[in-house]
Structure 1
Amino acid sequence: MADPSALLRARLAERAARVARLDGADAWVARARLAVAVGAVAMAVLVFGTHALHARWLALPAAAFLALVVVHDRVFHARDRARRAVAFHQAGLDRIEGRFAGHGTAGERFTDPAHPYAEDLDLFGPGSLFELLCAARTRAGEDRLAAWLRAPADAAEVRARQAAVRELAPRLDLREDLAVLGEDVRAAVDPARLAAWGEAPRLLPAFVVPAALALAAAAVATAWAWGAGYGPVPFLAALLATWAFGRALRDPIARVLGGAGRPAAELRVLSLLLARLEREPFGDPRLLRLQQMLGVQPKDGGRASARIARLERLAARAEWAHNQVFAPVAFALQWTPLHAALVERWRAAHGGAVRGWLEAVADLEALSSLAGYAFEHPADAFPEVVDPGAEPRALLDGDAVRHPLLAAAVANDVRLGGDAPAVLLVSGSNMSGKSTYLRTVGVNVVLALAGAPVRAARLRLTPVQLGATLRIQDSLQAGKSRFYAEITRLKQLMDLAGGRFPLLFLLDEILHGTNSHDRRIGAEAVVRGLVARGALGLVTTHDLALTELAGQDGALGNAHFEDQVQGGEIAFDYRLRPGVVGHSNALALMRAVGLRV
């Protein structure tokens, strides 16, 4: 694959040059409009002041001005798209170079303190994994990507996502096209409300369309009869019947048209995405299946974008009845009841498909987000996700694993399960990298089980349910200490260990909020209880007494991070080593900040 940075820079320069050309065109058209306006004023003086010209000459500057207005509008739209293309490529470079924090969609609405690992692994918020990944243009796409990060998938599902991501990764043109669509796509579409509108029961009976057409025909016929000399009485009777019909159905008609306005607008926005996705040639079975959900195989009314276009036209024509000039004609022709019934007919025929369209768009956008990440990080490996039956127990085995949110992260291996210990007790001095190691392992497992490549040379794993205690906080409002919050989370993890997938637990400074005696007993009970349920895990500790747990059997092993004092300063290499750490740096750190100890 070509160097993504070089490709993005080349395309960025090309799009920036296009913006500059369109800025020039904007200035040229603006000057031309001004010149035409001045010429029109001069011509008006000749026409009305000196009568040197006939008034019909004013049609020339008027036509020229209207033409320039149309051209100017096209220049504005083209420049907006070019500017969004510049922003798209710049965002890609920022992600590659680690400058993305605060510039993307951070997904704060998905933050949940009760989730077993989301906050611990910085999945959401500024500078988060979600912000690094997310390129979705709709709320449904954001929801789907967040769901994939918040819960593991089984091996078959992960492999299917990987295949789709591999096919989408090189399709930079597709991702650019999706990025430069109307700016209001994300804000405008509420997937839950839109799907509920499509599936709601009908409000108008089926006879409304033939009845409205019959009344409209009667009005036209009696108006013609009146003009032919048969008198106004039949026409007035037809109008009275029209009024009575509309009066009887006034409330349901108002609910239909009042309720259709926002869905029609939301679907119009969604159709921008659908139309682009419909014409992309896919070969992957999952992508083809999603494309078929959009109606790309002509059936049941054709493509989703074409069906939406019909609803747009109905909603737009229904608004004509509010025009004061057209309103009398609309009344006689049963315009409003007829279009309300046609909207209901559309909803009856296609409303049930709206949820499927949203589902397809959500999946395609989530896959496209992961594909963008894969394209921008070609050195990252796709993990091998193993079916649980292929291994005697849960497995996590990786080489040179690094944190995807840390540009200068040091690579370390991870070995859990299989022939390696199920649990690794990680000791080490302060600031040596223990917590970062847990986060590195955890966030790469999240990427792996979402279907993305991982920041590692190699990773092989069975599907696991993550759980962590890396960011446990006390709560003054809830009256919970840090220790109570931790043991509550540990109980949650114990329950998760009996779930669909084996648990991978990441316990940072386990039970450090209590005395060493209780910590030793409690930590051993928790860790061995989790192992007995088939869990894998990493446990960090400053308490070297806990490292003695590894000596009792092969299920637990020891590893450590260490530091060196060089020239009176503490240096870290952040390398994981086997065994137990041999010294502490707490006193040295205290002296380094000026404490006399």
Structure 2
Amino acid sequence: MNGANIKQFYLNSIDEEKAKLIPLKKQIFIIATLRLLTLTLGIVICYLTWNNTLLTIAIALFFFFIFILLLNYYGKLIFKKKYSLTLIEISEDELKGLNYDFSAFDGAPEKIQAEHSYSFDLDLFGDRSFFQSINRTVTFSGKDYLARCILFPQKDREVILGYQKAIQELAKKLKYITHFRIMGKITQKEIHNSSKLTETYSHKNLLYKNKFWAILTYIVPLSYIVLLILFLTGLISAIYFIPLWLVTFTISSFSIKPINSILDIFDKKTDILTTYSQLLQIIEDEKFHSTLLTSNQDLTHSQIKASLAIKKLERYCSNLNMGLSYPVILFFNPVLFWNVNYAIKVEKWLEKYQNEIPKWMESTAHMDALCSLSIFAFNHPEYIYPTIITEHFTFTGKNLGHPLIPENTCVKNNVSIDKDSYFLVITGANMAGKSTYLRTIGINHVLACMGAPVCASSLEFYPGNLFTNLRTTDSLADNESYFFSELKRLKMIIDRLQSGERLFIILDEILKGTNSEDKQKGSLALMKQLISLQGNGIIATHDLVLGSLENEYPENVKNYCFEADITENRLTFTYKIREGIAQNMNATFLMKQMGITGL
């Protein structure tokens, strides 16, 4: 399936759902009308038969039964309508995304970290970011998991292969992925941090294992049964129910405080678990083949399926809330100790499953993140899954492009680093494409380590630790100059190399914050140190003197350039990388063209 077919797929989905909505809206109107007629007709007939009590009760029950059936059917139709509308919304958002408008998706600006090894330099988070372009998560924990995949990519070959297989499998299950996303959007009550959610359920027992309340839950109902038998056999008067009720009502009132404490724990959080319950059931019911997906599915199983366990909790909490309403609080509580019973059930559930909840959240988050990566793969069928090399450092590929640059304007380039302690030195004019090239390499390295497909026709890579320095800034808050901030970042690289880390280093214009002479000396010294420490990477610079390193270190340095061509007083760029050192610089030319200098 190519790009045009992908767009047509989403257009067809929109047309199909819009066609479904036409008869669906008519059905909803008809059922709503029938509900009103049923209610009205039931009231009228009951009024006419009011003198015949039994007949009135029978008619009332009949119409009530019909009304409930219509109400349930109405609810199902409303759900179908929401489902279709959400599917249309998702398809429209994907069409926008295919046109490089990612505004419908969350770019997670809160994840921007200037001190991170590469995320700030590569524009991974925020508006119009890489994360925004791939993020399709429907839960907070899923978004967080996807962000962690980007910030802390995998380095183990087998793990990356596992992600590749999982993404490939899910990319063929677009109907399944879409269903997961729709259910997440429909049932989602609020965004909630799952780590805090799991902490919520670390609860100390208030009623469970308390012998006093445990005994009363048996003794009180039994007392009423005994009294009822004695009353029916004529041994006692019904008046004895009054003192028993007063005593049991008073005792049950003492449980209100701990019960409210239990309810406070679940305030709105059971609704969130309902969202996870729906998504967990989708995970549980699907048949997977890849090891990563099946092992993730295993997290949802303990003594009982996670979705079923959560539904039990929902039922317990619903009944517990009911115990504080009328008439339950006046009858069921003192007679059956309703609220105490269900409070104990909730606490027993917590004791049994509180250690499982983090696993369920993790499974859902994992699947949520994998769905995002699989949609990315589905939307880019021309992307390829790279080959992982672990014997030595490698980053060798053909026709690499940046996934955020539209296909019709994206100029693709090759890269070749096929041994340890090896650097590409890239010289070139302003605006010729050096920075875009560096970010293209960086973003594809991140994708490769995540197990996702990359924008290239071929790629072999070593899953090392990426470290970039493309956008150093000064810090007024920390009283740091631009130059000192850059030095700190370069020091981090040296320290990590000296500790034995295998780094993939991408630097743009070393020592920008100092004068030309210092810059040249410092840049040459730094490059020699990086080579001696077995570093690997790409250095972009305006300093042509760095090109001399290829003569001094022919086994460790290779020169490439991006040229600016000046023909008939016109400046043009090919944005294609070439071997050798740049010959044309364009700063003076541009200044003259803009009238800034009289040269």
- TM-score between the two structures when normalised by the length of structure 1: 0.88
Report 1:35-74 matches (<5 A).
36=37, 71-74=73-76
For residue 275 of structure 1, the aligned residue among 281, 290, 293 is 281
- The amino acid of 1:15's aligned partner reads E
Please state how far the C-alpha of 1:185 moved relative to its aligned partner.
Answer: 2.5
How far apart, in 2, do the equivalents of 1:486 and 1:441 lie? 21
Report 1:299-338 matches (<5 A).
300=303, 302-332=304-334, 333-338=336-341
How far apart, in 2, do the equivalents of 1:7 and 1:337 lie? 54
How far apart, in 2, do the equivalents of 1:142 and 1:397 lie? 31
CA contact (8 A) 2:201 2:354 kept: yes
How far apart, in 2, do the equivalents of 1:316 and 1:571 lie? 70
Root-mean-square deviation over aligned CA pairs: 3.1
**CA distance 1:145–1:230, shift in 2 (3 Å):** same
How far apart, in 2, do the equivalents of 1:584 and 1:529 lie? 28
Task: Give the corresponding residue for 1:480.
Answer: 480
Task: Give the corresponding residue for 1:410.
Answer: 411
**CA distance 1:166–1:592, shift in 2 (3 Å):** same
How far apart, in 1, do the equivalents of 2:202 and 2:170 lie? 32
Task: Give the corresponding residue for 2:511.
Answer: 511
CA contact (8 A) 2:42 2:63 kept: no
Please state how far the C-alpha of 1:261 moved relative to its aligned partner.
Answer: 3.6
- The yes-or-no answer on 1:224 pairing with 2:228 is yes
- The yes-or-no answer on 1:288 pairing with 2:294 is yes
For residue 340 of structure 1, the aligned residue among 338, 343, 346 is 343
Please state how far the C-alpha of 1:191 moved relative to its aligned partner.
Answer: 0.8
- The amino acid of 1:463's aligned partner reads P
Task: Give the corresponding residue for 2:266.
Answer: 260
CA contact (8 A) 2:220 2:248 kept: no
How far apart, in 2, do the equivalents of 1:418 and 1:335 lie? 72
Please state how far the C-alpha of 1:39 moved relative to its aligned partner.
Answer: 8.3
CA contact (8 A) 2:118 2:468 kept: yes
Please state how far the C-alpha of 1:38 moved relative to its aligned partner.
Answer: 12
Please state how far the C-alpha of 1:427 moved relative to its aligned partner.
Answer: 0.7
Gaps of 5+ in 1: 49-53
**CA distance 1:91–1:491, shift in 2 (3 Å):** same
CA contact (8 A) 1:118 1:124 kept: yes
- TM-score between the two structures when normalised by the length of structure 2: 0.88
- The amino acid of 1:411's aligned partner reads K
Please state how far the C-alpha of 1:283 moved relative to its aligned partner.
Answer: 1.1
Instruction: State which drifts further: 233-242 or 340-349.
Output: 233-242
For residue 416 of structure 2, give the secondary structure of its aligned residue in structure 1. strand
CA contact (8 A) 1:84 1:179 kept: no
How far apart, in 1, do the equivalents of 2:521 and 2:442 lie? 26
Task: Give the corresponding residue for 2:364.
Answer: 361
Deviations 1:47-69 (A, max 9, x none): 79xxxxx9999979998877665
Instruction: State which drifts further: 264-273 or 566-575.
Output: 566-575
CA contact (8 A) 1:137 1:365 kept: yes
Instruction: State which drifts further: 176-185 or 535-544.
Output: 176-185
Task: Give the corresponding residue for 2:570.
Answer: 569
Task: Give the corresponding residue for 1:51.
Answer: none
- The amino acid of 1:260's aligned partner reads F
- The yes-or-no answer on 1:185 pairing with 2:188 is yes
Gaps of 5+ in 2: 50-54
Please state how far the C-alpha of 1:564 moved relative to its aligned partner.
Answer: 1.6
Instruction: State which drifts further: 322-331 or 490-499.
Output: 490-499
Please state how far the C-alpha of 1:307 moved relative to its aligned partner.
Answer: 0.6
- The amino acid of 2:118's aligned partner reads Y
Task: Give the corresponding residue for 1:471.
Answer: 471
Report 1:143-158 matches (<5 A).
143-153=144-154, 154-158=156-160
**CA distance 1:353–1:466, shift in 2 (3 Å):** same
Task: Give the corresponding residue for 1:526.
Answer: 526
**CA distance 1:186–1:422, shift in 2 (3 Å):** farther
**CA distance 1:336–1:28, shift in 2 (3 Å):** closer
For residue 194 of structure 1, the aligned residue among 182, 186, 197 is 197
CA contact (8 A) 1:429 1:561 kept: yes
For residue 186 of structure 2, give the secondary structure of its aligned residue in structure 1. coil
Please state how far the C-alpha of 1:162 moved relative to its aligned partner.
Answer: 0.7
Deviations 1:491-537 (A, max 9, x none): 22333335675111211111121012211222233333333333212
Deviations 1:341-380 (A, max 9, x none): 1111111111111111111112112122111111111111
How far apart, in 1, do the equivalents of 2:99 and 2:88 lie? 17
- The yes-or-no answer on 1:429 pairing with 2:434 is no
Task: Give the corresponding residue for 1:401.
Answer: 400
Report 1:557-596 matches (<5 A).
557-596=558-597
- The yes-or-no answer on 1:382 pairing with 2:389 is no
Report 1:435-454 matches (<5 A).
435-454=435-454
How far apart, in 1, do the equivalents of 2:186 and 2:533 lie? 49
How far apart, in 2, do the equivalents of 1:80 and 1:304 lie? 25
Report 1:70-219 matches (<5 A).
71-99=73-101, 101-153=102-154, 154-181=156-183, 182-183=185-186, 185=188, 187-208=190-211, 210-219=214-223
CA contact (8 A) 2:38 2:66 kept: no
